[in-house]
Structure 1
Amino acid sequence: MKSDQPVVSADRNIAELTIKALILGALLSMVLAAANAYIGLLVGLTVSASIPAAAVSMGLLRMFKRSTILENNMVQTAASAGESLVAGIIFTIPALVMMKAWAGYEYGPMVAIAIVGGILGVAFTIPLRRALIVEAKLKFPEGVATAAVLQTGGIENDRSKKIANKIADAGFATLLKGALIGGVVKLLESGLGVLASGVSATKAFFGGKYLFMGDVTLSPALLGVGYIVGLNIAFLVFLGGALGTLIGVPLNWAFNGDAIMLATGIDSAKSMAELSSAEWGQIAGQSWQNCRRIGVGAMMIGGLWSLISLAKPLWQGVAASIKAYKDSKGEGGGLARTEFDTPIHFVGIVVLVAIVPVFLIFKNALGVYPDANFIAAVMTVLMLVFGFIFASVAGYMAGLVGSSNNPISGVTIATVIVSALILLQLMGNDGMAATLGPIAVIFLAGLICSAAAIAGDNMQDLKCGHVVGATPWKQQVFQVVGVVAAALVIPFVLNILDQGYGIGRVSPINPSATMLAAPQAGLMQALASGIFGAGIEWGFIFIGFGLAVVLIVLDKIQEKRGSSFRFPVLAVAVGVYLPLGLSVPIFIGGILAHLLKKKAAQQSTEKQQVKESSGLLLASGLITGEALMGVLVAVAAVSFQGMVPFLTFSGAWWCGVAVFVAVIYYIYNKVQRS
C-alpha cells in the first residue's frame, strides 16, 4: 500500500459510526477527563490521551464479535476529547473559586462553558482539515502515532487475526498493568498512609545565612508525565524548579530576610540560633511563595511571546481555512467518503446559533451590572474573534509540535490580558466593576481555552482518521460526543478534588491534604484581579520577565543552530511556579525515556516502534491509574469528612522511596524487554 493511501480505501464502507462506539467513546471521555483533571491540576501539564484511548478501545471492542479499525478510531476520537476539554477548564475556571467569586464549582455555568467552547473549537477547525492535513501535510505527530497503534490491531491490514489479537492484548495489558501500579501506589499513599507522598528537608547553614529547601514527590504518575513529554520538556520543568527553589529561596532570604520574617509573623528580634525547625519551615515556605511569582512573570511574557511568534502560522491557518472553504464549494457533491467534512453551511449555522448561549453565559457572569447587555455583547464578539483566531493557531500548532506541546495556556494568558484591558476601559474599576470585570474575563478565558484545546485535539484526530481512512464528518460528530460527555462530569470531578485536596487553596474539609497547585488558573486569577485594581506585586514578576527574555534568546539561538533541544518559556515558568518536588520525578521520567530510546536506536525500526508504544502505554497507565485513584480517595475524604489516610506509619517515607525506585526499575525493565 502506498504511504499516501488510507488503510481503508475511500470506496469502501465498513462499520464506523455505531452504537457501541458511541457509548464506549462517551464513557472513556468521562474517565480520561477525570484522570487528566487530577494530573493537570497537580503539575499544570496534560498529555494527549489518544494513544491510551486507542489501546483501551482495541482491548474492549475485541469482546464484540465484529469491530473495525474505523470504530476504534471513532472511540479514541471521542475519548481524547475528554482529556483536551478538561485542560481548557482546569487552566481557567478554578480562578473563579480562588478569587472567591464562586464558593464551589457551579455545575450549570461550567457545563455551558465547556460544551459551547468545545463545540466552537470543533466548528472553527472543520474548514482547516483539508488545508492542513491534505494540502500542507503537517506532521501531526500524535495523530500519526495513534494511527500506528490502531493498525497493530490487525483489522483491515495483512496481519492474521491471531497475531493481531495478540498484539492488541499485549498493548491493553501493558496499559492495565501501568494503571494498576499507579492506582495501588496512590491508594497506599493517600488512602492508607503506608507510603509517604514525598520526602522533604529544610535546613539553615552558616548560622542561618544560607537557607536550603528541597523535596521529592514519590509519584509514579509524574514519572509517566516525564516519560511522555520527553527529556527536553522534563529538564526545563526541573530547571525552573531548581531556579525557583534551590537558587531563589536562599537568595530571597539573604536579601529580604526582614520582610520574610514580618510576613511569617516571627519576631525579628530572635537570633538565628533561637529559631525552631518549624519556624525555619515557615520562613522557607514564605520565601518560596515570593519566588514562585517569578514563574508568573515568565508565564506572562511566555504567553505574549507565543502569540507574537505565532503571527505567521496564524495568518497561514486563517488563509488555509478560507482556501479550503472555496475549494469545497467548487467540488460540490463529488467528494470522496474520506474527504467529506461536515458541510460548511452547517458549520456556519452552529457558530451563529452559538452566539445566543455565549451571550447568556456572559450575561449570567455580569449579574446585575447596569450595562450587562452591552458588555455581554462585546464579550460575545471577543469570544468569536479570539476563539476563531486561537482555534486556528491551536490546530496549526498541533500539526507542528503535537497536542501535548501546544501552547494553549500561552494564548489564554494573552486573552486574559487583552480582554481585561478592554473591559477595564469599558467598565472602569469602581464599585461592581472591580468585582464583576475579572469574573467576566475568566468566563471568556474558559470559553477560549476550551475551544483552543479541542481545536488542537480535533486536528490530531482528523489526521489519524486521514491515515486509517475515516469519514471526517463522522469523526467531527464523535468529537462533539466526547465534548458533551466530558462536560457533564468535569464539575463533579473538580468539586470532589477541591474538597478532597484543595485546588489552589487549602481543602475546606481536609486541610492536611497536599493541595493541587493549579498553576495556570492561579496566574489567570492574579492577572484578571490585578488589572482591575486588586494589585499585582511586581518585584518578583519583573525578575520573571527577565528570565523569560533570556530563555527566548536561548531558544532562538537553538532554533538557528537547528538543534532539537529548545527552551520554551512556559515549561520553565511552570517549573518555577510549582514545588520543586513535582519536577524531580518528571525529570527522572524524561531521563528514562531518553535512555531507553538511545538503547533502542541500534535495533530495527519495528522493534523501536514496539518499545516506544510499550513505554507510552505503560506511562499512560501510571498516569491514569494514579489519577483515578486520586479521585476515589478524594471521594473517600469527602465522605468521611477528611479522615484520609486511615493509618499512620512511621516508616512510610522509606517505604515510599523503595516503591518509587521499584517503579523506576519496572519501567526500565519492562520497556527494555518489550
Structure 2
Amino acid sequence: MNQTVSPPQLTLRAVLLAIVLAVILAAANTYLGLFAGLTIASAIPAAVVSMGVLRALGGGTILENNIVQTGASAGSSIASGVIFTIPALVILGYWDDFKYSWVLAIAGLGGLLGVLFSVPLRRSLIVDQGLAFPEGKAAAEVLKTGENPGQGIKLLAGSAILGGLIKLAAGSGLRLIPDTAQVAAWFGKTIGYAGTNLSPALFGVGYIVGLNIGIVVFAGGFIGWNIAIPLYSTFFLENDPQLMQSIIAGCGGIGGDAECAAGAIWSAQIRYLGVGAMLIGGVWTLISLRKSLFSGVKSGMAVAKAGGGANLAHTERDIPMKYIGIGLILFTLPLLALYQAIVGQWTVSVPMTVIMVVAGFLFVSVSAYMAGLVGSSNNPVSGITIATILFAALVLVLLLGRDSSIGAVAAIMIGAVVCCAACIGGDNLQDLKAGYIVGATPWKQQVMLAIGAVSAALVMAPVLNILAKAYGIGVVSEAHPNPLLAPQATLMASVAKGIFGGELPWTTIGIGAGIGAAIIAFDSWLQARKAGFRVPVLACAVGIYLPIELSVPILAGGIVAWMVERKFGVKADDPEREKVHQRGMLFGAGLITGEALMGIGIAVPIVVAGSADVLALPEALQLGEQAAQWLGLALLALTAVLLYRTAIKRT
C-alpha cells in the first residue's frame, strides 16, 4: 500500500475490543508470571479473537484486526514489566499491599515511555535491517489468512475450559489433584529429587516456545536440582550452621523430609547460581549488541526526524519527533515527583530520574533488538532489569550510603519503570512488524499500544492484591506456606537488599556467573558452527533459578511441538513453521489463559472467605496422595494427546 490516505484502522469498536482484551490478557499473564516466572506474547490469540468478534459485528478489515492485536498484546507486556519488579516492594516489606496510584504511575508511565523510546527504532530494525520479529510475522500470517476465525475461537475456548478445569481440580481449588507430582530421598548425605508440576499452562508455554528453549530451561533446572543440590547436601551442608539448623528444625535434618531439605537448600543457596548467570547474561547482551544497537538507534532517529511530512505514504508515518519530545517531558516529570516522594532529596531524585531515562532508552533498544532476533517470549528482559537495578543500587550507595533504609526501594523503583518500558518496547516492534507486513499506519499502532498499556496498568494493582491475599506472593508465611514464587521479583529484591546492608551468598553468585560465562562460550561456539540448536544464557539462568518441577512440563510441551514439526517435515528455522504451529499455538494459548483466569477466579472466594480451603472437597472425597498424583499425571498426558491431535489436524 503506497497511498497517502489510510484505510479505517483506529475505529471505536477496534479500540474498545483491544482495551477489553488487554485487560484480560494482563490479568492472565500476571498470574502466569508470578506462578512460573515466564510470560508469553499474546498477539496471535488476540488477532484470532478480533477476527471472530468483528466478523460477528458485520466484518472488520485486516487493519482493524491488526489494531486490536496491537493494543491487546500491550496487556501482556505491561503485566511482565510489573510482576518482574513491583512485587519486590512487598517482599522487601516497604508495602503491605499494592498501592493503586503508585502501581498505575509506574506501569502506565513506564509503558508510555516504552512506546516513545521505541518509535525511532522502527525504520532501522524493521525496514533497514529487516530483523525477523517471529511473533510479528506469525501474527501477520494469521491476519492475512483470516480463514475461519470462528474455528480459532472454538479452539481457544475449548482449551481454555480444559486448562481452567484442571486448575480448579488442583491444590488451590477442589484439591482433587496436587499441584506437583514429586519424589525425593536421601542417599546417605546426598539428596535425590525428581518431580513435575501438573500445570497445563506450563505445558502450553513449552509448546509455544518450542523444544530448543524447553531443553535449555530444563537443563538449567537439572544443573540446579540434580547437580548443585546433591553436591551441596553432600559436601557443604554440614559446614553451613544456619541452613543446617533450619533443616533440622523444619525438615528433620539429614535423613528427614528430603523434599523439604531440597527446597531449603535451593532457597538459601542454589537459586543464586541463577542470579549470577542472569547478571553475566545481561552484561553479555549489552556487549554483544553494542555495534548493531548504536548504528540502529542513530539511523532510526535520523529518519524519524526527517519524516512525518504529508508527502509520505501512511505506511511510513510514525509519531512525529516533536510529540515524542513533549511526551518524554510530560511523562518523566511525574516520575521525578514520585522518586522525590520516596527519597525526599532532590540531589538523589534527579540522578534517579536521569538513570531511569538513560537506562530506559538503552534497554528499550536492547529489548526491541532482541525481540527481533528471538521473539518477545524469549526476550531477556529479566537480565536487563537486574543489570539496571544493580547499576542503580551502586550509584545510590554513593548518594545515600550502604546503610540507607530506602536505597533498595529506590533501586527497585528505577528498575520497575525501565522493565515496563523495555517490555513494551519489544512488544511495540513485534506489532509494528506485523503492521509493516499487512500495510498498517505506524503512528496509529503506536497510539493504540499506548492506550493498551494504560488500560492494562489500570487493573494491575487490584489483580495483584487479589492474588496476594489468596495465595501470597514471594514470601512464605503461616497463612501462605506455598506462595506464588514471583521468581524475578524475589531476585530483584534480593539483589537490591544485598547491596544495601543485606547479605547475599556472593560465592554462589560468583559460581553462577562462571556457569553463565561457560554457557555463553558454548553458545558462541554453536553460533560459529551455524548450529540450529542454541543455548541462550538467560533461558538457562531462569531454569537454574526456578524449581525444576516447573521446567519439566515446559520441556514436555516443547517435545510435542517437535513431534508436530516431524509430522509435517519442517525444521525450527523453516519459514513454514509458524503456519504448521498455528492451531497448536492457539490451543496452548487457551490452556494458559484458562488456567490463569481460573487461578484469579479461585482467588476471589478464598479472599472473601478468608480461607484457602473454601473450595476444597470434603476429605472423604479426596484421593490418597499417590492416587492423586497419578490422576494429575494422567490429566497432563491427556492434555498432551489433545494438543498433538489438535496441532496436526488440518481440516
TM-score by structure 1 length? Answer: 0.91
Say whether residues 1:51 and 2:44 are aligned partners: yes
For 2:644, the aligned partner's letter is: Y
2:112 and 2:42 map into 1 onto residues whose CA distance is: 19
**Equivalent residue, structure 1, for 2:301:** 322
Q: CA deviation at 1:608?
A: 6.0
Say whether residues 1:410 and 2:383 are aligned partners: yes
Say whether residues 1:358 and 2:335 are aligned partners: yes
Selected match of 2:81 from 74, 77, 88: 88
Selected match of 1:466 from 432, 436, 440: 436
Counterpart mapping for 1:53-202 below 5 A: 53-153=46-146, 164=147, 167-189=148-170, 190-202=172-184
For 2:262, the aligned partner's letter is: A
Say whether residues 1:611 and 2:611 are aligned partners: no
Give the 3-state SS of the residue equivalent to 1:341 in structure 2: coil
Give the 3-state SS of the residue equivalent to 1:215 in structure 2: strand
**Equivalent residue, structure 1, for 2:453:** 483
Counterpart mapping for 1:463-542 below 5 A: 463-506=433-476, 509=479, 511-512=480-481, 514-542=482-510
Using the TM superposition, name which of 397-406 and 243-252 deviates more: 397-406
1:438 and 1:83 map into 2 onto residues whose CA distance is: 27
Q: CA deviation at 1:465?
A: 1.0
1:554 and 1:267 map into 2 onto residues whose CA distance is: 36
**TM-aligned CA distance change 1:659 to 1:281, over 3 Å:** closer
**TM-aligned CA distance change 1:429 to 1:625, over 3 Å:** same
Q: CA deviation at 1:260?
A: 5.5
Q: CA deviation at 1:278?
A: 5.1
For 2:369, the aligned partner's letter is: Y
Q: CA deviation at 1:230?
A: 1.0
- C-alpha contact (below 8 Å) 1:105/1:495 kept by paired residues: yes
- C-alpha contact (below 8 Å) 1:152/1:168 kept by paired residues: no
Partner deviation per Cα, 1:69-106 (whole Å, 9 max, x = no partner): 11111111110001011111111111111111111111
Give the 3-state SS of the residue equivalent to 1:585 in structure 2: helix
**TM-aligned CA distance change 1:322 to 1:264, over 3 Å:** same
**Equivalent residue, structure 2, for 1:595:** 563
Selected match of 2:214 from 209, 225, 234: 234
Counterpart mapping for 1:312-391 below 5 A: 312-328=291-307, 332-366=309-343, 369=344, 372-391=345-364
Partner deviation per Cα, 1:394-433 (whole Å, 9 max, x = no partner): 2222222221122211211111111111111111123xxx
2:577 and 2:223 map into 1 onto residues whose CA distance is: 35
Q: CA deviation at 1:11?
A: 5.3
**Equivalent residue, structure 1, for 2:408:** 438
2:501 and 2:440 map into 1 onto residues whose CA distance is: 51
1:152 and 1:261 map into 2 onto residues whose CA distance is: 63
* Identical-pair percentage: 45
**TM-aligned CA distance change 1:507 to 1:664, over 3 Å:** farther
Q: CA deviation at 1:564?
A: 2.4
- C-alpha contact (below 8 Å) 1:198/1:653 kept by paired residues: yes
1:492 and 1:375 map into 2 onto residues whose CA distance is: 31
For 1:383, the aligned partner's letter is: M
**TM-aligned CA distance change 1:494 to 1:264, over 3 Å:** farther
Using the TM superposition, name which of 257-266 and 450-459 deviates more: 257-266
For 1:599, the aligned partner's letter is: K
Say whether residues 1:288 and 2:266 are aligned partners: yes
Using the TM superposition, name which of 61-70 and 237-246 deviates more: 61-70
- C-alpha contact (below 8 Å) 1:500/1:507 kept by paired residues: no
**TM-aligned CA distance change 1:264 to 1:389, over 3 Å:** same
2:326 and 2:510 map into 1 onto residues whose CA distance is: 46
**Equivalent residue, structure 2, for 1:621:** 590
Q: CA deviation at 1:31?
A: 0.5
Q: CA deviation at 1:110?
A: 0.8
Selected match of 1:257 from 229, 237, 244: 237
1:139 and 1:457 map into 2 onto residues whose CA distance is: 13
1:125 and 1:358 map into 2 onto residues whose CA distance is: 19
For 2:236, the aligned partner's letter is: N
- C-alpha contact (below 8 Å) 2:120/2:297 kept by paired residues: no
**Equivalent residue, structure 1, for 2:610:** 641
1:126 and 1:44 map into 2 onto residues whose CA distance is: 28
1:266 and 1:21 map into 2 onto residues whose CA distance is: 56
- C-alpha contact (below 8 Å) 2:432/2:442 kept by paired residues: yes
- C-alpha contact (below 8 Å) 1:365/1:443 kept by paired residues: no
For 1:633, the aligned partner's letter is: I
Partner deviation per Cα, 1:503-542 (whole Å, 9 max, x = no partner): 2113674x25x32222211221111111122121212212
1:77 and 1:449 map into 2 onto residues whose CA distance is: 19
Q: CA deviation at 1:617?
A: 0.6
Q: CA deviation at 1:477?
A: 1.1
1:266 and 1:342 map into 2 onto residues whose CA distance is: 57
For 1:177, the aligned partner's letter is: G
Q: CA deviation at 1:130?
A: 2.1
2:430 and 2:503 map into 1 onto residues whose CA distance is: 40
Say whether residues 1:663 and 2:632 are aligned partners: no
TM-score by structure 2 length? Answer: 0.94
- C-alpha contact (below 8 Å) 2:244/2:253 kept by paired residues: no
For 2:180, the aligned partner's letter is: G
Q: CA deviation at 1:491?
A: 1.0
Give the 3-state SS of the residue equivalent to 1:533 in structure 2: coil
Give the 3-state SS of the residue equivalent to 1:62 in structure 2: helix
**TM-aligned CA distance change 1:618 to 1:281, over 3 Å:** closer
Partner deviation per Cα, 1:546-596 (whole Å, 9 max, x = no partner): 211110110110111111211111111111111111000000011111111
**TM-aligned CA distance change 1:266 to 1:77, over 3 Å:** closer
Q: CA deviation at 1:376?
A: 0.9
2:584 and 2:247 map into 1 onto residues whose CA distance is: 53
2:239 and 2:23 map into 1 onto residues whose CA distance is: 47
Using the TM superposition, name which of 113-122 and 532-541 deviates more: 532-541
Contiguous gaps of at least 5 residues in structure 2:
none
Give the 3-state SS of the residue equivalent to 1:139 in structure 2: coil
2:306 and 2:128 map into 1 onto residues whose CA distance is: 11
Say whether residues 1:218 and 2:198 are aligned partners: yes
**Equivalent residue, structure 2, for 1:159:** none
For 1:334, the aligned partner's letter is: N
CA RMSD of aligned residues (A): 2.2
1:608 and 1:457 map into 2 onto residues whose CA distance is: 21
For 2:339, the aligned partner's letter is: F
2:555 and 2:80 map into 1 onto residues whose CA distance is: 22
- C-alpha contact (below 8 Å) 1:132/1:320 kept by paired residues: no
Selected match of 1:29 from 19, 22, 26: 22
For 1:523, the aligned partner's letter is: L
Q: CA deviation at 1:441?
A: 0.6
- C-alpha contact (below 8 Å) 1:178/1:621 kept by paired residues: yes
Q: CA deviation at 1:261?
A: 6.8
- C-alpha contact (below 8 Å) 2:112/2:421 kept by paired residues: yes
2:74 and 2:237 map into 1 onto residues whose CA distance is: 48
- C-alpha contact (below 8 Å) 1:249/1:291 kept by paired residues: yes
Contiguous gaps of at least 5 residues in structure 1:
1-5, 154-163
**Equivalent residue, structure 2, for 1:553:** 521
